[in-house]
Structure 1
Amino acid sequence: MKGFIISSLSALVLTAVSTSAVHAQQTAYNPAVSENASSNVARITPVDLVNAAYRGQLENQGIPSYNDFHLAYRARQINAYALVKSAIQSNLLPSLVLNDQSYINAVATQLDVFRYE
Structure 2
Amino acid sequence: MNCLIPSGLAFLLLTVTPLSVQAQTRTISRVNSTNTRVSDSFQATPFQLVFLAYRGHFRDRGIPSYDAFLSAYGQGKISEADIVSVGIEAKRVSTETMTDKRYLRAVKSYLDSLVAGRS
TM category, shorter = 0.5 to 0.7
Aligned-pair distance for 1:82? Answer: 0.4
Q: Which has the larger radius of gyration?
A: 2
Query: Which residue in the other structure is 1:58 paired with?
Result: 58
- Whether 1:95 and 2:95 are equivalent positions in the alignment is yes
Query: Which residue in the other structure is 1:10 paired with?
Result: none
Return the TM-score normalized by structure 1: 0.63
Equivalent position amino acid for 1:84 in 2: V
Return the TM-score normalized by structure 2: 0.62
Where structure 2 has 5 or more consecutive residues not aligned to the other structure, the ranges are 1-37
- Aligned CA RMSD, in angstroms, stands at 1.4
Query: Which residue in the other structure is 2:71 paired with?
Result: 71
Aligned-pair distance for 1:63? Answer: 0.5
Aligned-pair distance for 1:48? Answer: 1.0
Query: Which residue in the other structure is 2:30 paired with?
Result: none
Equivalent position amino acid for 2:81 in 1: Y
- Secondary structure of the corresponding residue to residue 42 of structure 1: coil
Q: For the residues of structure 2 that align with 1:71 and 1:112, how far apart are their CA atoms?
A: 11
**Matched-pair identity in %:** 32
Question: 1:1-117 residue pairs with structure 2 within 5 A?
Answer: 41-117=41-117
Aligned-pair distance for 1:101? Answer: 1.0
Q: Number of aligned residue pairs: give it.
A: 78
Where structure 1 has 5 or more consecutive residues not aligned to the other structure, the ranges are 1-37
Equivalent position amino acid for 1:51 in 2: F
Question: C-alpha deviations, 1:5-42, integer Å up to 9, x for none?
Answer: xxxxxxxxxxxxxxxxxxxxxxxxxxxxxxxxx9xx42
- Secondary structure of the corresponding residue to residue 52 of structure 1: helix
